[in-house]
Amino acid sequence: MNESTQRRRTMIRGLLSLAAAAAFYQLVALSGYFPRVLLPTIPTVLTTLYDMLSDGSMLHHAAATLYRVLLGFALAISVGLPLGILMARFKPVENFFLPLVSALMPIPSFALVPLFMLWFGIGNLTTVLIVFYAATFPMLFNTWTGVRSVNPIWLRAAGAMGADEKRLFWKVIVPGASPFIITGMRQAFLRSWIAVVGAEMIAASDYGLGWVIFDSKEFLQTDIMMAALVVIGFIGYVFERVVFGSIERATVYRWGMVRMAKG
Amino acid sequence: MLPIEIRDVSLVYDTPGGKVPGVKNVSIDIDASEFVCIVGPSGCGKSTLLNIIAGFLSPASGEIRIGGKAVTGHGMDRGVVFQDFAQLFPWRTALGNVSFGLEMKGVAKAERDKIAREQLRLVKLEKFTASYPHHLSGGMQQRVAIARALAYNPAVLLMDEPFAALDALTRDDMQRLLAEVWRETRKTVIYVTHNVAEAVYLADRVIVMSPHPGTVKADIRIPLERPRDPLSAEFLEWQKNLLRHLGHETAGDETQKSNGKATT
Amino acid sequence: MHHAATLDAHTAVGSDRLRAVARNAFPFVVVGTIWEVVARAGVFPRQLFPTLEDVARSLVDLTVSGILPHHAFETVLRLLSGFGLAAILGVGIGVLMGRSRRAEDIILPLVSILAPIPGLAYAPLFLLWFGPGELSAVLLVAFVSMFSIIFNSWTGVKAVKEIWLRSALAMGADDRRVFRHVILPGALPYILTGLRLGLAQAWRILVAVEMLAAVPWGLGWLIFGAREFLNTDAMMAGIVVIALIGLGLEKFVFQKIEHYTVVRWGMMEAMSRSP
């Protein structure tokens, strides 16, 4: 069978699969075998989602979470990127920071939440700092690897054509390391997202998507919990595909430096 | 050591751009223990034909018989050597690779290893039985591949440009080695190549194919005595002969033409 | 002459190694000193900012009394159960997806929707469904770490070279043997990567879940509980142990396995520089 019928089959099977999963869930929820409170029907979840969106509460939570993520993420880039570059260019810097980074990396960001709560209290500061902690490592590590991997041939060619240190940096090293830098940003964002949800569960005061999920557990509001999960998934998807996808398309794919991964 | 009959084989490729003929109405009879080379430019269907004989592709029409039995899919009566060195399994040593076919046949370990070692000796790699492929050079890996294809004693050996990716010096060595191995084992060999000199060196018969669609253009016997000398006058004559069949004019032809003589 | 040369070589290697150790220790010495100075300066209350000595003493006390080992043991046990479950299911599903287009078409959409949501976000849901305690923790860990394993195993099976399959088939292997002798070893580099990522994820989420799930023992619980009593030194001792276990898993488990298999076969480069 040829490619196009194969692709159509794939799509049909995919849709059927999702539909079947949804139908199965719905049946189980309606059967009453589990308490309705624990397993809300799909229409219930959708209604709750719609209500929370229209009265603005969900948007408020999403905005708070996004604010914390973006702030922490920005901090991580502003520290991780320059430090990674410095580590790759200057051996003493690398010698100093590499052991420290290697020692801290295995510590999950979540393990530091109680400590940060003691030091910085509950609320935005703690959550942003946790995000910052979680996101810095992938950013730093990828940048470091990226700059180290810049093909020395490019550096030699540019030097032979008269480029000085500064121009070498901006015109050869930064673009050359960009696939890694962008991967680093993508991983850093992913980690930020994971960290923020976790941190919000314990350390946020009263808004944020993570907080909503945790709080709704107390009152067995599974429908709210699921609605929040949908929102989290959606935002994550948008960022991954739209934001990072377009950055990659505009730079490294266009330059042929990275092959498009399948789907 | 079995004869091969290829009868009226055709295959059509289904591509996004439409149906492309692979090979069309190819018929060839090969005697047992004959060394046959198939030469032709890219796209003439020689690799396709080999894959059909190997059983990896099914012909749209026609059939292939080996020793009188029809070919349906792959089988242990044919050994295959590809061009890509990576055909060896990286997770097995040279010995492990060579004994794979025997393992599939159910031969006991001690016996397997003995036969595998013998095969490796045949290709002059007896010292490398415990090496992993990534420690071996390209030429060595191809030798292991040949040993692997011979180990379980298939009647037919199918080779698809096995030495094309090697450097010229290694390639010469490998051709000599292959000629020796064939002399010792007397398998029926079908060898695909685009290298005319290689074909003249190795083959009893050369089948020239032309592309679009792939068809047999010429079937030429090479009557030279073995071992063959690639630098002798007769060798070069046969090379020129082949090239002419492939449609390439050689320098000699040019002067002959300008002298008003026919080029045959 | 010969003797002197080898002696020089020995001392050269010895002093090289010493220098490497010193170089690695130096940053910690610097950071440690700064920490001590700040801690002793009394700028922050001793409770919140313990000296290294406090932390060390806490570490020793907790270990000797058996409390820390007990917590660590429970955590590692949960990790192994959850990860073990994830490994079996993950490799199984991933390999199935790689072998069968139909399985891939059916499973991939489901997995793609569930995977991007941060694992912790599912934690309260699991707690509601399975109650607080061991079961929730293990299931959540398994669920979350399964995705990397599935994706990598799937990719690995698909990446098995066509030429290996053809060679094996030509040599008389049937489907089952092709699977055992070619597909599994061929996909191994990817599967190992997936397992490594899965383990790292499992570790991260386990610590978090222990804080949320009210399990009676566990490193996560230890850290969280210590907050109640402002036992920052105990908290830090717990964090140190978490870091050590995480490092140990990476170095002693995975690197060893990789060295023995895919690096030896030349299928993957050894990790030259940690991490």
The 8-class DSSP code of residue C99 comes to H
Whether B100 and C166 lie within 8 Å, measured CB to CB: no
Q: Which B residues 3-42 touch A at CB under 8 Å?
A: 14, 16
Rounded Cα gap, residues A223 and C153, in angstroms: 34
Mean pLDDT of B17-43: 86
Residue B191 has pLDDT above 70, yes or no: yes
Q: Which residues of A touch B14 (CB under 8 A)?
A: 2
How confident is the model at residue A135, as a pLDDT? 93
What is the per-residue burial (b if ≥16 Cβ within 10 Å, else e) of A154-187? Answer: eeeebeeeebeeeebeeebbbbbbbbbbbbbbbb
How confident is the model at residue C274, as a pLDDT? 34
What backbone torsions phi and psi does residue B121 show, to the nearest 5 degrees? -65, -40
Residue C156 has pLDDT above 50, yes or no: yes
How confident is the model at residue A37, as a pLDDT? 80
Q: Give the CATH superfamily of A40-253.
A: MetI-like (1.10.3720.10)
Residue B147's pLDDT band (cuts 50, 70, 90): very high
Rounded Cα gap, residues A111 and C235, in angstroms: 9
Q: Which residues of C touch A232 (CB under 8 A)?
A: 117-118, 121
Q: Taking CA atoms, what residue in B is nearest to A4?
A: B16
- Pairing of β B156-160 and β B188-193: parallel
How confident is the model at residue B128, as a pLDDT? 94
Q: Which chains touch C (3 or more CB pairs under 8 A)?
A: A, B
Give the lowest-confidence range in A200-209, B180-189, C73-82: A200-209
Residue A163 has pLDDT above 50, yes or no: yes
Mean pLDDT of C182-206: 87
Q: Among partner residues C166, C172, C266, which is closest to B90 by beta-carbon distance?
A: C266
Please say whether the beta carbons of B235 and B64 come within 8 A.
no
CATH among 3.40.366.10, 1.10.3720.10, 1.20.1050.140, 3.40.50.300 for B1-77+154-171+185-231: 3.40.50.300
What are the boundaries of each domain within chain B?
1-77+154-171+185-231, 79-153
Rounded Cα gap, residues A152 and A160, in angstroms: 12
Whether B101 and C172 lie within 8 Å, measured CB to CB: yes
* Close Cβ partners of B144 (under 8 Å, ≥ 6 residues apart): B88, B94, B97, B98, B120, B123, B125, B128, B133, B136
Q: Which position has the higher pLDDT, A78 or B20?
A: A78
Q: Token digits for B19?
A: 């149906």
Q: Taking CA atoms, what residue in C is nearest to B145?
A: C167
Bridge partners (DSSP) listed for residue B192: B38, B160
Give the lowest-confidence range in A126-135, B78-87, C250-259: C250-259
Whether B91 and C265 lie within 8 Å, measured CB to CB: yes
Rounded Cα gap, residues C23 and A129, in angstroms: 29
Instruction: Look at residue A107 and give its three-state secondary structure.
Output: coil
How confident is the model at residue A90, as a pLDDT? 83
Instruction: Look at residue B79 and give its three-state secondary structure.
Output: strand
Give the lowest-confidence range in B192-201, C21-30, C174-183: C21-30
Please say whether the beta carbons of B222 and B234 come within 8 A.
no
Please say whether the beta carbons of C144 and C119 come within 8 A.
yes
Q: How many CB atoms lie within 10 A of CB C74?
A: 21
How confident is the model at residue C9, as a pLDDT? 56
Residue A251 has pLDDT above 80, yes or no: no
How confident is the model at residue A1, as a pLDDT? 57
| Average per-residue pLDDT for chain A | 82
Interchain CB contact of A2 with B (< 8 Å): yes
pLDDT, tens digit, 9 for 90 and up, residues C40-87: 887 777 777 888 888 888 888 888 888 888 888 889 999 999 999 999
CA dihedral A113, A116, A121, A122 (to 10 degrees): -20
Whether C246 and A119 lie within 8 Å, measured CB to CB: no
Give the lowest-confidence range in B56-60, C64-68, C170-174, C229-233: C229-233
pLDDT, tens digit, 9 for 90 and up, residues C224-275: 888 777 788 888 888 888 888 887 887 777 777 777 777 777 776 554 333 3
Interchain CB contact of C261 with B (< 8 Å): yes
Residue C8's pLDDT band (cuts 50, 70, 90): low
Please say whether the beta carbons of A237 and C115 come within 8 A.
no
pLDDT, tens digit, 9 for 90 and up, residues A86-112: 888 888 888 888 888 888 887 888 888
Q: Which residues of A touch C245 (CB under 8 A)?
A: 106
pLDDT, tens digit, 9 for 90 and up, residues B88-135: 998 889 999 999 989 888 889 999 999 999 999 989 999 999 999 989
Mean pLDDT of C184-191: 88
The 8-class DSSP code of residue C218 comes to -
Interchain CB contact of B133 with C (< 8 Å): yes
How big is the A-B interface in CB pairs under 8 Å?
Answer: 3
How confident is the model at residue C88, as a pLDDT? 95
DSSP labels for B219-242?
EEE--PPSSP-TTSHHHHHHHHHH
Whether C242 and A106 lie within 8 Å, measured CB to CB: yes
Q: Among partner residues A110, A201, A214, which is closest to C204 by beta-carbon distance?
A: A110
Mean pLDDT of B158-170: 91
Q: Is B190 exposed, middle or buried (0-12, 13-18, 19+ CB in 10 A)?
A: buried
The distance of C196 to chain B (nearest Cα, Å) reads: 20
Interchain CB contact of B68 with A (< 8 Å): no
Interchain CB contact of B78 with C (< 8 Å): yes
The alpha helices in B94-232, defined as continuous H runs, are 94-98, 100-105, 109-122, 138-151, 168-185, 196-202
Q: Which residues of A touch B20 (CB under 8 A)?
A: none
Q: Could you give the strand order of the β-sheet that contains B18-30, starting from the edge strand earlier in sequence?
A: B18-30, B4-15, B61-66, B69-70
Give the lowest-confidence range in A3-7, A211-215, B116-120: A3-7
Q: Which C residues 166-185 touch A at CB under 8 Å?
A: none
Please say whether the beta carbons of B32 and B65 come within 8 A.
no
Whether C116 and A119 lie within 8 Å, measured CB to CB: no
Rounded Cα gap, residues A107 and C223, in angstroms: 13
Bridge partners (DSSP) listed for residue B160: B192
Whether B82 and C166 lie within 8 Å, measured CB to CB: yes
* Close Cβ partners of C78 (under 8 Å, ≥ 6 residues apart): C134, C137, C138, C141, C206, C210, C215, C218
Rounded Cα gap, residues A246 and A240, in angstroms: 9
Residue C124's pLDDT band (cuts 50, 70, 90): confident
Q: Which C residues 21-40 touch A at CB under 8 Å?
A: 23-28, 30-31
What are the boundaries of each domain within chain C?
1-43, 52-263
**CA terminus-to-terminus distance, chain A:** 21
- Select from C114, C95, C205 the least CA-distant residue to A25: C114
Mean pLDDT of B181-188: 90
CB hemisphere CA count around B243 (13 angstroms): 17
Interchain CB contact of C106 with A (< 8 Å): yes
Please say whether the beta carbons of B171 and B142 come within 8 A.
no
Is the bond preceding residue B213 a cis peptide, omega within 30 degrees? yes
How confident is the model at residue B15, as a pLDDT? 74
Q: Token digits for C91?
A: 């490799």
Q: Which helix (H) or strand (E) holds A30?
A: helix A3-31
Residue B215 has pLDDT above 90, yes or no: no
How confident is the model at residue C117, as a pLDDT? 84
Give the 3-state secondary structure of C29-44: HHHHHHHHHHHHHCCC
Angle between helices C219-228 and C67-99 (to 10 degrees): 130
Residue A25 has pLDDT above 60, yes or no: yes
Interchain CB contact of B77 with C (< 8 Å): no
Residue C162 has pLDDT above 90, yes or no: no
How confident is the model at residue C11, as a pLDDT? 60
Residue A260 has pLDDT above 50, yes or no: no
The distance of B137 to chain A (nearest Cα, Å) reads: 26
How confident is the model at residue B86, as a pLDDT? 83
Interchain CB contact of C42 with A (< 8 Å): no
Q: Which chains touch A (3 or more CB pairs under 8 A)?
A: B, C
Q: Give the CATH superfamily of C52-263.
A: MetI-like (1.10.3720.10)
How big is the A-C interface in CB pairs under 8 Å?
Answer: 156
Bridge partners (DSSP) listed for residue B219: B207
